[in-house]
C-alpha cells in the first residue's frame, strides 16, 4: 500500500501584523494628540476668559471720579437745588413729628434738643439753597429705592468749581430710610443707632443687608 505524502505551506504574517499594529499605534497617537491639543486650546481660551472677566470686574468695582462737562453745569446747579429742597422737606417732616411728640410730652428735654438740632440743620440747608455759587460747598445725592427702603448716597465738594471741573468729591456717606418714617440709619457710623432701628422696626442685620446699594 502506497504512502500518501501531504504537503503544507506555512505563511509568516508577522511583518504584516507588525505593520498593522504600527498603523494602529500611529492612529491612536494622532488621536491622543488631537484630544490633547483641543484640551490645551480650551484651557488657554478659558484662562484668557478668566483674565478678561477679572479685569472687567476690576474696572467695574474701581471708584471713578465724577466728570461734569460744561454743558451740564446748569443742570448740576438745578440738581443741587432740587436735592436741597428735598432735604428741607424731609427736615420739615421731622420737625412736625417732633413738635407733635413734644406737645404730648413737653418735659422731654431730649426731644427739645433734637428739635433745635433739626431746625438748625434746616436753616443751614436754606442758606445753602440761597447761595449756590461757585465758591460755596456743594452736596449731591444719589438715591435708590429697594422695596420699602430708600438708600441715599451723598457726595460733598468744597466748592462748585471742584464739581464743575470734575475733581473727586472730598467726602461721601450713605444712609438708609424706611418708607413712612423720618429717621435715617447711617452706614459707617460708630454711634449707637438702636433708636433709629426701633423706629424703622428692623434689625441691624436687615439694615446692613442694604449697604450694597450704597454708591460710594
pLDDT tens-digit profile of 26-36?
A: 677 766 767 77
Backbone dihedral region for residue 56 (phi beyond 0: left; psi -120 to 50: alpha; all else: beta)? alpha
Find where cell 466748592 sits. Answer: 159
- Residue predicted with more confidence, 18 or 194: 194
The answer to whether residue 55 scores a pLDDT higher than 90 is no
Collapsing DSSP states into helix, strand and coil, what is residue 156? strand
User: What is the C-alpha separation between 151 and 14, in angstroms, rounded?
Assistant: 84
What does the CA dihedral 168, 212, 58, 70 come to, rounded to 10 degrees?
A: -30
The distance in angstroms from the start CA to the end CA of the chain is 117
Break the chain into its structural domains and give their ranges.
14-62, 70-213
Q: Which three cell numbers stand for residue 6?
A: 501531504
Q: What is the largest CA-CA distance in the chain?
A: 148
Residue 76 in grid coordinates: 448740576
Q: Is 175 helix (H, G, I), strand (E, B) or coil?
A: strand
pTM above 0.75, yes or no: no
Residue given cell 460744561 in the structure block: 70
Query: 130-189 pLDDT, tens per residue?
Result: 665 555 567 778 889 999 999 999 888 887 777 777 788 888 999 999 988 888 999 988
Strand partners, 139: 156
Amino acid at each position: 500500500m502506497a504512502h500518501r505524502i501531504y504537503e503544507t505551506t506555512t505563511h509568516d504574517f508577522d511583518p504584516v501584523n507588525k505593520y498593522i499594529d504600527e498603523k494602529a499605534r500611529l492612529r491612536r497617537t494622532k488621536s491622543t494628540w488631537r484630544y490633547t491639543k483641543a484640551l490645551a486650546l480650551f484651557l488657554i481660551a478659558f484662562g484668557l476668559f478668566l483674565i478678561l472677566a477679572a479685569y472687567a470686574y476690576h474696572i467695574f468695582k474701581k471708584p471713578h471720579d465724577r466728570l461734569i462737562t460744561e454743558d451740564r453745569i446748569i443742570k448740576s446747579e438745578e440738581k443741587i437745588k432740587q436735592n436741597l429742597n428735598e432735604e428741607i422737606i424731609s427736615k420739615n417732616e421731622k420737625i412736625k413729628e417732633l413738635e407733635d411728640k413734644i406737645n404730648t410730652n413737653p418735659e422731654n428735654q431730649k426731644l427739645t434738643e433734637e428739635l433745635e438740632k433739626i431746625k438748625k440743620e434746616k436753616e443751614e440747608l436754606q442758606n445753602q439753597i440761597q447761595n449756590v455759587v461757585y465758591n460755596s460747598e456743594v452736596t449731591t445725592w444719589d438715591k435708590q429705592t429697594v422695596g420699602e427702603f430708600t438708600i441715599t448716597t451723598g457726595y460733598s465738594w468744597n466748592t462748585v468749581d471742584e464739581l464743575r471741573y470734575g475733581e473727586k468729591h472730598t467726602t461721601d456717606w450713605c444712609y438708609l430710610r424706611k418708607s413712612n418714617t423720618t429717621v435715617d440709619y447711617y452706614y459707617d457710623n460708630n454711634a449707637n443707632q438702636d433708636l433709629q432701628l426701633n423706629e424703622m422696626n428692623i434689625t441691624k442685620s436687615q439694615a446692613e443687608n442694604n449697604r450694597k446699594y450704597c454708591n460710594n
